[in-house]
Structure 1
Amino acid sequence: MQTKKIALITGASRGLGRALATALSARGWRLILTARGEEAIREAAVGLDAVVLAGDVADPWHRARLAAIAADEGGLDLLVNNASGLGAAPLPRLADYPLRVLTDLFATNVVAPVALAQDALPSLRERGGAVLNITSDAAVEAYEGWGGYGATKAALEQVSHVLAAEEPRVAVWWVDPGEMRTEMLAEAVGVEALEAPEPDGVAARLAELVERRPASGRYQASELEVAT
């Protein structure tokens, strides 16, 4: 009989998603991990109590397979919408932003998290579960070149806020992790990303957030408590 809590983490093959998978596994969670690269997601799951499925969260067929895996596991206690696209790079001004790229970016960063939440909500309600959406300061600040990405994160924040209001039995957190040394940041800003901290510290704070289960709302990782 399955007694462990179960989490689905998207974008789990690298960066924050991979670090959070490691942190939750250390706390006894069973994981469903997904990312686009087959080899990378299998490597990320080594040593973890996890089932993996490579694919694109923007693909409805892939989401349906994830929902089937979650059902086979008995349901979800936590959905982590971490998978995210950067969009056009080098970062263009909005006047020059390719609209097809922007459409695809909303599909990955907004529509997919909503769709995954829709699939997960029945079991999350039943189990008193939670949704953790990874956002960004670009959702609330006007950084030149970050208009496309920031717009998707602003939309994700509003989606999260409304979901929290509509689902009182489910905790909904949207968290700005701050700058981290990730491939996405390197793609956006280049070598400056090397000065950012590794994502492990943020992952530890997020794992503690999940365990403490505070009220639904927006949080900054830098302000979260760290387990001692």
Structure 2
Amino acid sequence: MTQKTALITGASRGLGRAIARELARDGWNLILNARGAEALEAAAKELASDGVPVAAIAGDVADPEHRERLVRAAGEAGGLDLLINNAGTLGTTPLPRLADQPLDDLAEAFRINTLAPLALVQALLPTLRERGGAILNITSDASREPYETWGGYGSTKAALEQISHVLAAEEPDVAVWWVDPGEMRTEMLRAAGEDADAAPPPEESAAVLRHLITERSPSGRYRAADLAGTR
């Protein structure tokens, strides 16, 4: 059986790193991305210690040249079976009301949270089609709920959700999932000014997402909280 390969963006910490651990246990070949080289190398070293093939490629997914490196790495691995678009940014912090939202910051958030995932999808669709692969886009309940001060970030995720929905209709041979993982004990939630210590660890959501992947659930939108009882 050919070893499966996954590319995970934002994999140096939080949910991305937790998903990488889950896939490593299943023997996936991993290509990991994050902006912070030191933290990414630490994550890769941890996973490689278990004998998992890991390529750690630090850089910004919003940078076209960096995305080309990720695509080349997938080609060198023989192709890609799973793309996980997990990297993201809150944008302006503390989170502002829309009346005060700096538009340059919002444009940058769209570049990272929406356009970069789509660009990776476009570049990797040929190999994903060929291998009957899957795309997992990490979204948020802020894409649907009118939380005060979350309008900028939530709008970037709402756009990603619509892209995912249409992509699922256009690509019947590729599984497309867009998933709200719920609140997690992460640095991103803490940076948003929320009580991150009261939230569950990202490992709980990662275990649920592993089930989604291994069972190859139908394309669609999922909430980790709803999936938790199906494992």
Secondary structure, aligned partner of 2:21: helix
Shift of 1:223: 1.3
Return the TM-score normalized by structure 2. Answer: 0.95
Q: Is the 8 A contact 1:204 1:226 kept in 2?
A: no
Shift of 1:46: 1.7
Shift of 1:42: 0.6
Q: Is the 8 A contact 1:7 1:79 kept in 2?
A: yes
Write the distance in 1 (CA, Å) between the matches of 2:230 and 2:4: 19
1:214 and 2:226 aligned: no
Q: How does 1:50-89 map to 2 (within 5 A)?
A: 50-89=54-93
Write the distance in 1 (CA, Å) between the matches of 2:3 and 2:21: 15
- Runs of 4+ displaced beyond 2 Å: 225-228
1:169 alignment counterpart: 173
Number of equivalent positions: 226
Shift of 1:47: 3.5
1:199 alignment counterpart: 202
Gaps of 5+ in 2: none
1:25 alignment counterpart: 24
Secondary structure, aligned partner of 1:28: coil
Q: 2:127 aligns with which of 117, 120, 123?
A: 123
Write the distance in 1 (CA, Å) between the matches of 2:23 and 2:168: 23
Query: 2:198 corresponds to which letter in structure 1?
Result: E
Q: Is the 8 A contact 1:20 1:207 kept in 2?
A: yes
Shift of 1:226: 6.2
Return the TM-score normalized by structure 1. Answer: 0.97
Secondary structure, aligned partner of 1:46: helix
Specify whether residues 226 and 203 from structure 1 end up closer, same or farther in structure 2 by C-alpha distance, changes over 3 A only.
Answer: farther
Shift of 1:45: 1.1
Write the distance in 2 (CA, Å) between the matches of 1:80 and 1:226: 23
Q: Percent identity?
A: 63
Q: Report the RMSD for the aligned CA atoms in angstroms.
A: 1.2
Gaps of 5+ in 1: none
Shift of 1:120: 1.0
